[in-house]
Structure 1
Amino acid sequence: DAAPKAGKGPKGPKGPAKGPCKGPPAPGGKGPPAPGGKGPGGPPAAKGAGGKAGGKPGKGGKAALETKPAVKPSQPMKPLWWNKMVFGAQLQKGETIWDEVKDEMDRLPIGELTLRFSKSAVAQKEKPKKEEGEKKKEELALIRIITDPQIVVGKEASLRKLPEPSEVAKALDELNDKILDVEMLQVVKDNACPNPAQLKELQEARQKNPNVPLALPESFMWVIGHMPAYQQRIDVWSFAQSYPEQHASYDGALKDFLSVVECFQESEVLPHLLGIILAVGNYLNGGTNRGQADAFDLETFGKLEGIKDATGKDVRHFIFDLFLNQMTEQANTFLEEITPCMVNINRRIAKDSDGVEKLDKSARIVFEDFDMCVNALHGEFVAKHETMQMILSYFEDPADPFKMQMPAIYSEAKEKLDALLTLKDTAKEKYAQLLKWFKIQSMKSSDFCVLWDNLMVPSNLILNADMKMKKDFMIPTFCQNKPFTADELQILWQFKEFDAKSKLPKKKAGQRRRRRFSQRLRDAQAAADKASAEGQAPPAPGGAPGGAPAGGKAKGKLPPPGKGKPLGLRPD
């Protein structure tokens, strides 16, 4: 109803309690009853506003009139404590967006609004059912059988690296390693292959909801799960793709370990160094039942540091002073001979929990670890080869890529892995011979290498150096997995001063030409591969042509140790 004109009109109900000043005029006509009871005064009105409700406007000018129709809810509602603004008071025409805002009362679902937000509103029982129904409807937007959020996120992140599911299935069928390389095939194996229970669950969900799309992991599972023998096919192909890298790693490590064993077996100077240590021990034990020894156990190396002179230097200082300074040429030769053992040790300066520096030493190649790795790789090959033979009967098409290619791939793998087993057994036998040569009943290969490194490069000589010496010499020379010379060893033992400005003596031309035995083996392998490709006879490991034993050494009776001859035979 339109508000009546200002002036005399029918008397309205009594307005709210008076505030500190007179309130604004109430609209004419009958208004809603004021809330009962005493209450605080109303908000202050503009000066000069009219008096009683429905009365004349005051001297302040025109009254502010509400433009929206009055509303009377069917029930008392929860209040919204906002700051009310009306045109003619807080708002002026043509200044705000509110000129364009129209009354939208007829759009409101008044019944729901009253039911939910009246003061007497209570929680409706239907509400949770409704939300549950909406939730179910939301879940059906995509078919998912994997519901753990963390697993879903991980799988989807990995599967986004792959092509479309149909293209992946085609690559699996055609054994296309350009689309599915080793890494991508592993992604498929880990994230896109359903187990039988998952495939059954996925089929049931698809039957119930044929028009609902599949989530990303489920879309891959659906396509791949319908390939014949998909799990076995992927397992067999995955091994065929991944084993060459493992084979190359194990082959290189075993050949490097063989060079460690042979560097002691073939050393010409080793008996001289042991002879010096034996002589020193016999002199120290002279006049006792420990003297006059013909040999000693290698664990004696660890006891030398406990015998110190008056200045605190142990007996090793005396031994290497003699060896490095009076047997210089032999010392240079010896350092070259045992380089494979020295570079097999990783040396790193670290700090313990108290902040004290320590030198960590560890063997880079531990034969016992690679022994287990090779056996495990061969065992995996045997299992996958049996799987391959079994599933070949699943493919009736003689032109199937799996049936045409996989037997040849596994035949080649068998040859390589059999050769790797032979190399491993050779290294194991030679190491056993080496221990027997040193009269050692049993010792792990890493302990053997660290034993010699502790003799040559004591930890305290590196740790006790000042910071500048560590930075300029100790760390670059002894902590970066590279060979060191006799001159550098003299600086370590403080027989020579280190001068950062001057260069250390260069190696002789003959010394520069000599390379690590493991590098020669790798060169020989490369030459063998090249010769095989050209249809020539490959050279034997070590560079000897025509398959002769490397170095031209004849087979037969083992020579006595210490005469510069190998204890065992090089593999042809």
Structure 2
Amino acid sequence: MKPLYWTRIQLYAKKQETSLLVWETIEEPKVDFEEFVELFSKTAVKEKKQPLSDTITKSKAKQVVKLLNNKRSQAVGILMSSLHLDMKDIQHAILNLDDNVVDMETLQALYEIRAQQEELDKIEKHIKSSKNKENAKPLDKPEQFLYQLSLIPNFSSRVFCILFRSSFSESMSSITRKLNILHKVCKALQDRETVKNILGLVLAFGNFMNGGNRTRGQADGFTLDILPKLKDVKSSDGTKSLLSYIVAYYLKNFDEDAGRETCVFPLPEPHDLFQASQLKFDDFQKDLAHLKKDLRACTSEVEKVCKVSDEDNLQPFKENMEDFLVQAKSELETLDTQLGSTHKLFLDLTVFYSVKPKAGEKEISPNTIFSVWHEFSSDFKDHWKKENKVILKERLKAAEENFRQAKEKASYSVKPKHASGIKAKLGTKM
């Protein structure tokens, strides 16, 4: 079966905890594994493989030649014992870009453990000097393993390209996701009307509180550092903060859906703001530069492999890797453009809010502006949730009262009044 690389949890090993774990409430159901095996089995490996170390012939001679130092030899030996593969499986996977038998994690381990040129020179020298000698001492298993790996055509170059192709998509997705968060938050803070409404309320109440103060009154705006401090400004009786009042006022006067399920949080989500605050444009530049460097190296390795490979071993490596290189280059150019536009959008936002660099900063970092917004948004959301519940209760109470009044009105009946005057009596006699 293909492996599932999860981290195991064992309930009996967990520490004393008061809270119940989800796994304590779950039992494995009885399932039919027939279709599952067909879908997720490693079809390329039909027979059970023995450890790779067991496939290398052990010499009957009492002495073997050890060319690696003890630490290096032990590391190679451990890897060999963990690989239940034949060398032909490894060669097939590398030459045919097939990860069904040898996964990327194994390829990475093989690439990292590969023989260095100095080690390979010693191994080849020994093999050459021992040729046609009857009593020649054989190589130890780790040395044999490294030598067999080196016999795979262009092992190092091919594996480097395969690993880079595998990691490229993940790296690009990670950078794109982070840029999308930045773009989303910048656009929300700059364009969302609800954000402007809230800032307008802060400005209005702040100006009212500051009155005719020469330095603080009659402001047209304010720096963002005041936003997280609104929760610390208490009412006279200490029961409310300025922030909680602004939240309540906003919901009652600006949000028609207040107290309903359709009510939408008016600020960027705190978790988006937190993630944005952790990002640095310098890191983006470094990540892109690293990808470009690796792409150039991969291009060089592909050209080398294609140049020296036999016709039998050229495909599918050549076609697959050349297609990948064209696509990767295009995606990098697109990402580079996206980074530039997102950086410009961020700089526009800092100007929009009159944000200045911190002491020692050459340029405003995302943390400078988004950490303030994150704290404010988190506090705002706490009060927003509470106030929505209050409004919901008020709506329910009002609805119940209306229903009660309507019910009383429907059950109220008027008794007909019987005529008893002289005119009525005369009418009955006629």
For normalisation by structure 1, the TM-score amounts to 0.49
Matches of 1:225 and 1:232 in 2, distance apart? 11
Between the aligned residues of both structures, percent identity stands at 20
Query: Which residue among 418, 425, 428 is the counterpart of 2:340?
Result: 425
2:226 counterpart letter in structure 1: T
Q: What is the Cα deviation at residue 140 of structure 1?
A: 6.3
Q: What is the Cα deviation at residue 292 of structure 1?
A: 1.1
2:271 counterpart letter in structure 1: V
Could you tell me which runs of 5 or more consecutive residues in structure 2 were left unpaired when the two chains were aligned.
1-58, 358-363, 397-430
What residue number does 1:344 align with? 272
2:287 counterpart letter in structure 1: C
What residue number does 2:212 align with? 287
What residue number does 2:120 align with? 199
CA contact (8 A) 2:178 2:276 kept: no
Query: Which residue among 153, 160, 179 is the counterpart of 2:101?
Result: 179
The verdict on how the C-alpha distance between 1:207 and 1:308 changes in structure 2, with shifts beyond 3 A counting, is same
Q: What is the Cα deviation at residue 398 of structure 1?
A: 7.8
Matches of 1:258 and 1:446 in 2, distance apart? 15
The verdict on how the C-alpha distance between 1:331 and 1:433 changes in structure 2, with shifts beyond 3 A counting, is farther
The verdict on how the C-alpha distance between 1:141 and 1:421 changes in structure 2, with shifts beyond 3 A counting, is farther
What residue number does 1:129 align with? none
Q: What is the Cα deviation at residue 209 of structure 1?
A: 5.7
Is 1:439 the counterpart of 2:389? The answer is no
Query: Which residue among 355, 377, 387 is the counterpart of 1:490?
Result: 387
The verdict on how the C-alpha distance between 1:330 and 1:284 changes in structure 2, with shifts beyond 3 A counting, is farther
Query: Which residue among 324, 327, 331 is the counterpart of 1:416?
Result: 331
For the pair shown, the structure with the greater C-alpha radius of gyration is 1
CA contact (8 A) 1:308 1:315 kept: yes
What's the CA shift string for 1:360-401, capped at 9, x where partnerless? xx6586253445433422332123223333443223538612
What's the CA shift string for 1:149-180, capped at 9, x where partnerless? 4x544443334325223432343233333333
Matches of 1:336 and 1:307 in 2, distance apart? 23
Query: Which residue among 389, 400, 409 is the counterpart of 2:314?
Result: 400
Matches of 1:422 and 1:486 in 2, distance apart? 40
Matches of 2:224 and 2:74 in 1, distance apart? 57
Matches of 2:61 and 2:378 in 1, distance apart? 67
* SS of the residue 1:294 aligns to: coil
1:148 counterpart letter in structure 2: N
Query: Which residue among 276, 282, 291 is the counterpart of 2:201?
Result: 276
1:488 counterpart letter in structure 2: K
- Pairwise mapping of residues 197-346 of structure 1 onto structure 2 (< 5 A)? 197-207=118-128, 212-289=137-214, 290-310=216-236, 311=238, 313-329=240-256, 335-339=264-268, 341-344=269-272
What's the CA shift string for 1:65-108, capped at 9, x where partnerless? xxxxxxxxxxxxxxxxxxxxxxxxxxxxxxxxxxxxxxxxxxxx
- Pairwise mapping of residues 24-39 of structure 1 onto structure 2 (< 5 A)? none
The verdict on how the C-alpha distance between 1:215 and 1:451 changes in structure 2, with shifts beyond 3 A counting, is farther
Q: What is the Cα deviation at residue 261 of structure 1?
A: 2.0
The verdict on how the C-alpha distance between 1:221 and 1:275 changes in structure 2, with shifts beyond 3 A counting, is same
Matches of 2:284 and 2:374 in 1, distance apart? 21
Matches of 1:419 and 1:456 in 2, distance apart? 32
Matches of 1:172 and 1:385 in 2, distance apart? 17
What residue number does 1:21 align with? none
Q: What is the Cα deviation at residue 198 of structure 1?
A: 1.0
What's the CA shift string for 1:274-305, capped at 9, x where partnerless? 11111222223222222111111112213434
CA contact (8 A) 2:233 2:241 kept: yes
Q: What is the Cα deviation at residue 262 of structure 1?
A: 2.0
The verdict on how the C-alpha distance between 1:186 and 1:334 changes in structure 2, with shifts beyond 3 A counting, is same
Matches of 1:345 and 1:216 in 2, distance apart? 55
Q: What is the Cα deviation at residue 238 of structure 1?
A: 1.7
CA contact (8 A) 1:342 1:453 kept: yes
What residue number does 1:69 align with? none
CA contact (8 A) 1:156 1:217 kept: yes
Matches of 2:266 and 2:392 in 1, distance apart? 25
* SS of the residue 2:193 aligns to: coil
Matches of 1:206 and 1:399 in 2, distance apart? 26
- Pairwise mapping of residues 134-145 of structure 1 onto structure 2 (< 5 A)? 141-145=63-67
1:186 counterpart letter in structure 2: Q
CA contact (8 A) 1:363 1:446 kept: yes
Matches of 1:146 and 1:432 in 2, distance apart? 56
Answer with 203-212 or 297-306: which moved more: 203-212
Higher relative contact order structure (alpha carbons within 8 Å, sequence separation ≥ 6): 2
What residue number does 1:366 align with? 279
Matches of 2:280 and 2:267 in 1, distance apart? 17
1:301 counterpart letter in structure 2: L
Q: Which has the higher helix share?
A: 2
Q: What is the Cα deviation at residue 212 of structure 1?
A: 4.7
Matches of 2:329 and 2:180 in 1, distance apart? 19
Q: What is the Cα deviation at residue 267 of structure 1?
A: 0.8
Query: Which residue among 83, 103, 106 is the counterpart of 1:161?
Result: 83
Q: What is the Cα deviation at residue 485 of structure 1?
A: 9.2
Q: What is the Cα deviation at residue 196 of structure 1?
A: 0.8
What's the CA shift string for 1:535-558, capped at 9, x where partnerless? xxxxxxxxxxxxxxxxxxxxxxxx
Matches of 2:120 and 2:64 in 1, distance apart? 16
What's the CA shift string for 1:132-162, capped at 9, x where partnerless? xxxxx9996444333334x544443334325
What residue number does 1:73 align with? none
Matches of 2:339 and 2:263 in 1, distance apart? 27
The verdict on how the C-alpha distance between 1:162 and 1:237 changes in structure 2, with shifts beyond 3 A counting, is farther
CA contact (8 A) 1:269 1:330 kept: no
- Pairwise mapping of residues 428-507 of structure 1 onto structure 2 (< 5 A)? 428-442=343-357, 443-458=364-379, 488-490=385-387
2:279 counterpart letter in structure 1: V
For normalisation by structure 2, the TM-score amounts to 0.63
The verdict on how the C-alpha distance between 1:138 and 1:410 changes in structure 2, with shifts beyond 3 A counting, is same
CA contact (8 A) 1:257 1:367 kept: no
What residue number does 2:37 align with? none
What residue number does 1:387 align with? 301
- Pairwise mapping of residues 97-108 of structure 1 onto structure 2 (< 5 A)? none
Matches of 2:118 and 2:146 in 1, distance apart? 12
Q: What is the Cα deviation at residue 434 of structure 1?
A: 1.9
